[in-house]
Structure 1
Amino acid sequence: MSLRGDVCLVTGACGFLGKRLVRLLLEEENAAEIRLMDKQVQSTFLQSLEGCRGDTKLAVFEGDIRDGDLLRKACRGASVVFHIAAIIDVIDAVEFSEMYGINVKGTQLLLEACIQENVASFIYTSTIEVMGPNSKGDPIVNGNEDTIYNNDLKFNYSKTKREAEQRTLQAHNEVLQNGGRLATCALRCMYIYGEGCRFLLHHMGKGIQNKDVLIRMSLPEARVNPIYVGNVAMAHLQAALSLKDPQKRSITGGNFYFISDDTPHMSYSDFNYAVMAPLGFSIQEKLMVPLSLFYMLCFIMEVLCMMLRPFIRVRPPIKRQLLTMLNTPFSFSYQKAKRDLGYVPRYTWEEARKRTTEWLASELTKERERIRVK
């Protein structure tokens, strides 16, 4: 089973994960056509694909995910949609209406376009944050798809991704215009790292400002399991192949899967140190203040910002829910994805770390100069 001869649409094609998936599809699947959809598709990215494009046609669809006419054009004649496009925001910097419009309404419009244009398969890029952690910081260690958890979601990002995931799974088995059936599934990815990860660049920048000492924001025991971007792309490909296979389609369709790999379980802060230590960075041994006091300071900042909101929009540098996320053990197994999708991580931790560190090294001088002239 392969995607040879298929027409694939990738939304968010110029993003961190989207670029990696497009390249994987070109290098390994020999699809008839790959359609790149994003607000803007850079000519430099298109040029970088020429060496691996082969006979595959590349088509560009620039515009807003909320443009129904654009979505129908992009879906017309397509056989599989990889829906990656979303606003990612865990500090509530984006207005809820904008995030809901992109993450939820955009997904709904895309699903409707798939039904109208007879697209057979739809893979939705979800996130671990639709699961939690909850406001109490209840831990999960090596959880799975059957784990029961009280996920009182507080982030607008988590809420909108959760609703979009639900709409995706509810659309499974919807009747297409040609009488066929739409097959959908959702991939709940852990925190994604690798070449191009803007969060890693942010933490490296903060470390440079702190005299090459990484700031500790999470306790060592708050272990999570990040995943390398190359393995996330591979999971998307395996999901598409499973939905295309008539025998696997009935098992995979309508389900969500946790997607992780063999990256060691560690806290977010210790992960940053693991990939940046070879570049000469050290890390603070302890949190800047005790965690309970940290929560209190966050609460005071949130109250002050709320009081000022009628006059000026001020965003606290960190909220209690983000602090909870950074300090809650929260890890999940990929065994169901392995069993149902045939997903196996392609990149080992050693290779993923090496690639990530080499990319950070290539960005280090530019980051130091950016901070120097800031």
Structure 2
Amino acid sequence: MAPSLAGVSCLVTGAGGFLGQRVVELLLAEEEALAEIRLMDLAFSPKLLKTCDEYCGKTKLQLLKGDIQDAEFLMRACHGLSLVIHTAAIIDTLGTVPTEKLMGVNVRGTQLLLDACIENSVKYYVYTSSLEVLGPNSRGDPVINGSEDLVYESTNHFPYAQSKSMAEKCVLQANGQKLNNGASLVTCALRCMYIFGEESQFLSVLLDGAINNGDVFQRYSRKEAAVNPSYVGNVAWAHIQAAKAMKDPERVARIAGRFYYISDDTPHMSYSDLNFELGRGLGFGVESKMRLPLPLMYVLAFVLEMLSLLLSPFMRYVPPTNRHLINLQNTPFTFSYKNAQKDFDYKPRYSWEDAKQITTKWLASQVPLRKEFLKHHKKR
């Protein structure tokens, strides 16, 4: 019999976020209903609140508004659960968030949630990790169809990447810890690629930039810097498949305490060319080449970083780009999901064509709204 989440009580952290909402939607669509889903975040979108209000299934829904750094709140939130799917995190590739806050949410929050699981005997813990745990490194060493066995020298010291690496380590090291009821904690981490899809804030920002640029996306990435972005619905589905496998006695030993790369069948392409593929049906173009040669971009980023450092005693200046981000956007870096497929039956739920169509349809609904907003913003 295929593993099932029937009767499971689950907490989804970051349930108001881009990925968390999709995890919740797919959990509600399960053929065999969960007993309860607790949705935890600091805020919830109108769409998610409407979904909860209109839901008429067997699963009990509970909204929990609170901070991942509040230990007492987490203890209450985890009482009576058997599964936690931890998607909550601050994502920051520009360095806009103070490091202390980043570490507090991404690392301390993850550890506090582990502590609450142990105290409340929550047996299963699925963690949303990031490809940036591995790299790319500062040399820009490429990876093509990498696997979990890859030996790669990671030299990435950017705060966000460090916070995800530290949090992932906490999660995987906690695997096997004794719970209060005498059972053992089962954990795994899913290293996700760049996630795209409808309602992506990143896509909204890029869309604004393209509109301001005459409906042409700026080229931030070399065409040959192929990566494998993944559709949000597929990444959410991987979390659910991992959770199901944890309840399967034959599979749990294979995935316990391990990390997995989660990608899908989106064609390998640069980030800039992904934007074009999603927007071309709406008449958007993409610049044929980068505005500055890559070596000059690194030099400019270095100068801006030094300026930020010099100004730090007097004011906080966040450069519009940095060497880490340039490296991230311009290093060929692709990974296979074969081990996830082998160990917990993950395979993309949505094809590339379906994902592109859904995302483009959403972009089409946003274009007139964003153009109107930007038009009035310029008048001010």
Shared fold (TM-score, shorter chain, > 0.5) = yes
Contact 2:262 2:336 in 1 (8 A): yes
1:208 paired to 2:211: yes
Q: Give the CA deviation at 1:30.
A: 1.0
d(CA) in 2 for partners of 1:358, 1:42? 20
Equivalent of 2:24, from 11, 22, 25? 22
- Which runs of structure 2 are paired with 1:253-272 in the superposition (5 Å)? 253-272=256-275
Structure 2 match to 1:307:
310
SS in 2 for 1:10: strand
Contact 2:23 2:236 in 1 (8 A): yes
d(CA) in 1 for partners of 2:46, 2:77? 19
Contact 1:27 1:53 in 2 (8 A): no
1:241 paired to 2:240: no
Equivalent of 1:354, from 354, 357, 365? 357
Structure 2 match to 1:172:
175
Q: Give the CA deviation at 1:57.
A: 0.7
d(CA) in 2 for partners of 1:348, 1:6? 29
1:47 paired to 2:50: yes
1:110 paired to 2:113: yes
Contact 2:172 2:188 in 1 (8 A): yes
d(CA) in 1 for partners of 2:109, 2:305? 30
Contact 1:9 1:80 in 2 (8 A): yes
Between 27-36 and 108-117, the greater mean CA deviation after superposition: 27-36
Alignment-mate amino acid for residue 333 of structure 2? F
Alignment-mate amino acid for residue 365 of structure 2? S
1:352-372 superposed Cα distances (whole Å, 9 cap, x missing partner) = 000000011111111111211
Contact 1:83 1:124 in 2 (8 A): yes
d(CA) in 1 for partners of 2:24, 2:136? 31
Between 34-43 and 174-183, the greater mean CA deviation after superposition: 34-43
d(CA) in 1 for partners of 2:248, 2:189? 17
d(CA) in 2 for partners of 1:199, 1:354? 18
Q: Give the CA deviation at 1:44.
A: 4.9
d(CA) in 1 for partners of 2:301, 2:46? 43
SS in 1 for 2:289: coil
1:1-24 superposed Cα distances (whole Å, 9 cap, x missing partner) = 211111010000010011111010
d(CA) in 2 for partners of 1:23, 1:302? 41
- Which runs of structure 2 are paired with 1:1-374 in the superposition (5 Å)? 1-28=3-30, 29-42=32-45, 44-374=47-377
Contact 2:52 2:61 in 1 (8 A): no
d(CA) in 1 for partners of 2:171, 2:368? 42
Q: CA RMSD in A?
A: 1.0
Q: Give the CA deviation at 1:154.
A: 2.4
Q: Give the CA deviation at 1:247.
A: 1.5
Q: Give the CA deviation at 1:43.
A: 5.8
d(CA) in 2 for partners of 1:37, 1:135? 36
Contact 1:26 1:53 in 2 (8 A): no
SS in 2 for 1:123: strand
Contact 1:27 1:52 in 2 (8 A): no
Q: Give the CA deviation at 1:273.
A: 0.4
Contact 1:61 1:70 in 2 (8 A): no
d(CA) in 2 for partners of 1:372, 1:343? 44
Contact 2:95 2:159 in 1 (8 A): yes
1:68-108 superposed Cα distances (whole Å, 9 cap, x missing partner) = 11111111111100000000000010000000000000000
Alignment-mate amino acid for residue 231 of structure 2? Y
Contact 2:14 2:88 in 1 (8 A): yes
Q: Give the CA deviation at 1:53.
A: 4.2
Between 47-56 and 190-199, the greater mean CA deviation after superposition: 47-56
SS in 2 for 1:360: helix
SS in 1 for 2:39: strand
d(CA) in 1 for partners of 2:34, 2:56? 10
d(CA) in 2 for partners of 1:352, 1:285? 25
Q: Share of identical aligned residues, percent?
A: 50
SS in 2 for 1:49: helix
Give the direction of change, closer, same or farther, for the CA distance of 1:189–1:79 in structure 2 (3 Å limit): same
Structure 2 residue runs without a partner (length 5+): none
Alignment-mate amino acid for residue 47 of structure 1? K
d(CA) in 1 for partners of 2:302, 2:156? 18
Q: Give the CA deviation at 1:315.
A: 1.0
Q: Give the CA deviation at 1:40.
A: 2.2
d(CA) in 2 for partners of 1:260, 1:53? 32
SS in 2 for 1:36: strand
SS in 1 for 2:29: helix
Contact 2:230 2:266 in 1 (8 A): yes
Contact 1:23 1:49 in 2 (8 A): no
